[in-house]
Structure 1
Amino acid sequence: MISRRNVVLTLSAGAGAAVVSPAAVAATRQTGARNVVLAHGLFADGSSWSEVIGRLQTEGLNVTSVQNPLTRLSEAVASVQQVLARQDGPTVLAGHSFAGMIISEAGVHLNVSALVYVAARAPDAGEDYAALAGRFPAPPASAGIVYDGDQGRLSEAAFLRDFGGDLPPARARVLYAAQQPFQRALLADRTTQAAWRSRPSWYAVSTEDRTINPDLQRFMANRMGATTVELRASHLSLISQPDAVARLILDAARTA
């Protein structure tokens, strides 16, 4: 495994607003990855990265947010690989929530120079994620999943309380209205690759997460030897603390 930093920082909402210096930005543009590909998880779509996208674009990075079909893992991975193939050089691949599985699988692509996990799943190759998660107390959001046949979604109460609990309620309701249903079979799929074993990795732990247990996030981040930050945020840190998440991605682009 590649030697990596294993740094833990605890950031409040105010500290998360810190930005990189102009010199660091210049270094990113000249020597680091200039491409970023973003993947979203369940109960969301590609627009969930919007607040982060604008911040990365301001720093001169080429950013693409992939629309995950939320059908089967292989189809989600294929959609990411298609975008990765279009990149013109080293690329940071970031995933939120369920998309941690997608980037763990697709991250072996030759264009990927670094991985960034944002409150994300990070199973080992072939690992049963449900069994891994079962070693930790179940997060409240898991009880809020409802099914219409084979399509799953999060109830409004669980979405507002357990998914985006630190967002203004009006904003959370808009996101709830736009959530995309997922196929039940998606939850049974397993990765065949663990790209974090061969790529430098970064991880943003959400300490107030009610969708993925924060201690499970810490376990996965520590296991992969990731450069880690802890954000006092809900599961939707990419929306509630976009400065901190963008800074982590910029660090990966500059370093890897």
Structure 2
Amino acid sequence: MSIGNVSAVLVHGAWADGSSWSEVIERLKAHGIHAVAAPLPLSGLHEDVAALDRTLERIDGPVVVAGHAYAGAVIGSTRADNVKALVYIAALAPAEGETVSDVFYRGEAHALAPKLSPDRHGLIWLPEEAFAAAFAQHASAQELTVLSAVQRPISVSSIGEPVGRPLWKDRPSWFLTAGQDRMINPDTQHFMAQRMNARVHSHQVDHTPIVTAPDVVTDVIVEAVQAVSAR
């Protein structure tokens, strides 16, 4: 099986959309890997998993699914047969019975992490200043402008729903831990990566390396794709 037979599905997290993967998509294409960004409504974990499954249904052949941040819970909750490996990018990986909130708040918050609370619609928005302070402190001014402009809020119900048996118990997984993450405690990332027995790549990147360190992210996804294609 050649690397070209394995597709990559890229899943955005909270306060982002599929465009956050644009730099990675271009690099994967240069490696001969077809990539699709799965759009999530961020309206509830169950609904987000259903949205991912709809994207996976459209793809023939084996798939490596990569999730950033909140999307780690989403990719771990799919049961799609064509998913052959999982890649966590500074992501949250709840175990069975845990919620996104459980793991997100497990470690001590960074001093510059934003204080989050829902609006009257039950949606959590990221304060504009938090993009430069904590979400992507290594981003350029232009990148920050776009990130802030396209942000999508996440529903409270998305982070409060317990997950079932996570797929990482049954599929190989990779984990890029972000040493300069100000949103998800790096120690929490290492804890999750170790308990899921993931292949760990640790880098001194911020919370959103899919934007600020796309080469590093691409390398991890390519490694997972090559492992799947070699089977």
The yes-or-no answer on 1:138 pairing with 2:113 is no
- For structure 1, the 5+ residue unaligned runs are 1-25
Q: 1:239: how far off?
A: 0.8
Q: Give a deviation string over 1:153-197, Cα, whole Å, max 9, x none.
A: 111111211001011133212211110112222221121131000
Cα pair 1:146 1:154 within 8 Å, conserved = no
**Pairs within 5 Å for 1:70-89:** 70-89=42-61
Aligned-pair CA distance for 1:86: 1.8
Q: 1:28 maps to what in 2?
A: 3
Out of 220, 224, 227, the position equivalent to 1:255 is 227
Aligned ranges 1:97-246 → 2 under 5 Å:
97-106=69-78, 108-140=79-111, 143-149=114-120, 150-246=122-218
C-alpha offsets along residues 55-74 of structure 1, whole Å, 9 cap, x if unaligned? Answer: 11122212110111010111
Instruction: Say whether the 8 Å CA contact 2:13–2:70 is kept in structure 1.
Output: yes
Alpha-carbon separation, structure 2, partners of 1:132 and 1:42: 15
The residue identity in structure 1 corresponding to 2:214 is P
Letter in 2 for 1:212: I
The percent identity for this pair of structures is: 37
CA RMSD in angstroms comes to: 1.7
Do residues 41 (structure 1) and 4 (structure 2) align? no
Correspondence for 2:31: 59
Distance (whole Å) between structure 2 residues aligned to residue 128 and residue 75 of structure 1: 15
**Cα offset, 1:78, TM superposition:** 0.6
Post-superposition offset of 1:122:
0.4
> TM-score if structure 1 supplies the norm length?
0.84
**Structure 2 length-normalised TM:** 0.92
Letter in 2 for 1:76: D
- The Cα shift of 1:146 comes to 4.7
How many residue pairs end up in the alignment? 227
**Contact residue 7 and residue 62 of structure 2 kept, 8 A:** yes
CA distance in 2, matches of 1:186, 1:166: 27
Q: Deviations over 1:39-62 (max 9, x none)?
A: 100010011000000111122212
Measured in 1, the distance between the counterparts of 2:154 and 2:112 equals: 15
Higher relative contact order (CA 8 A, sep 6+): 1
- In structure 1, give the amino acid aligned to 2:205: A
Superposed CA offset, 1:75-106 (max 9, x none): 11011111112221110011000000000001
